[in-house]
Chains A and B, each alone.
Chain A
């Protein structure tokens, strides 16, 4: 069964304390993996697309990496404004559908 699992469910860090969020997937024939950020009361906002194992993408304090079974979202020296829920998703069934993980709720304390 196609599945996406994110861990941890919630993560609380101090400002400046680096960490990583995990997204593991079981899909056949990966056609990309997407990371989103969601702020309370808003729709998810696109961050990154990764297409093949070994690929990395960076944006400010965020770096996304991809292996054959999982993706990591590394956050370096985070600030309180990085607090949000981070979602990952993968296309399934010929890429017509997207299946989402349940998200990691990240809180950065000043």
Chain B
């Protein structure tokens, strides 16, 4: 099992550009989530999904879109990048509640 994979590992964007961060898991997990991690702020939930076709907002959803068309994939879209979105992004998955969550290696995004 590859577990949770994320691409790219690093990305630099200019303000106003759009991009998609990819996330995939091969563990057949129902739940998938996106977090951002900033110094002093900890891990904050952006969006999450409890199954294919079902998504909901987390703590900091503005500026981000998600969709879940398959169990395996959960891409995160930045519609118009802003410097405030400079962060490290982690995707995670878990079997369901109340089971533990597994994280991907992260994407470090810089918006200039």
The chain B residue with its CB closest to the CB of A100 is B43
Judge if B45 is at the interface, Cβ distance under 8 Å. yes
- Using A96-B97, A98-B33 as known contacts, say yes or no to A42 and B42 having CB atoms under 8 A apart: no
In the bound complex, what is the Cα–Cα distance between A97 and B101 (angstroms)?
A: 11
Main secondary structure of the interface of B (DSSP, over half): strand
Q: Are B43 and A96 within 8 A (Cβ)?
A: no
Q: Are A98 and B105 within 8 A (Cβ)?
A: no
The chain A residue with its CB closest to the CB of B6 is A43
- Using A96-B48, A96-B50, A100-B42 as known contacts, say yes or no to A43 and B106 having CB atoms under 8 A apart: yes
B 79-109 contacts with A by CB, 8 A: 90, 92, 97-106
Q: Are A97 and B45 within 8 A (Cβ)?
A: yes
Interface residue count on the B side (C-beta < 8 Å): 26
B11 to chain A, nearest CB (A): 15
Interface centre among B58, B98, B104 (most CB of A within 10 A): B98
The chain A residue with its CB closest to the CB of B33 is A98
Residue of B31, B48, B90, B98 touching A44 (CB-CB under 8 A): B90
Interface centre among A42, A87, A95, A96 (most CB of B within 10 A): A96
- Starting from the known contacts A43-B4, A100-B43, A103-B42, 5 additional A-B residue pairs (CB-CB under 8 Å) come to A34-B101, A44-B90, A46-B100, A49-B100, A96-B97
Listed in ascending order, the chain B residues whose CB lies under 8 Å from chain A are 4, 31, 33, 35, 40-45, 48, 50, 56, 58, 90, 92, 97-106
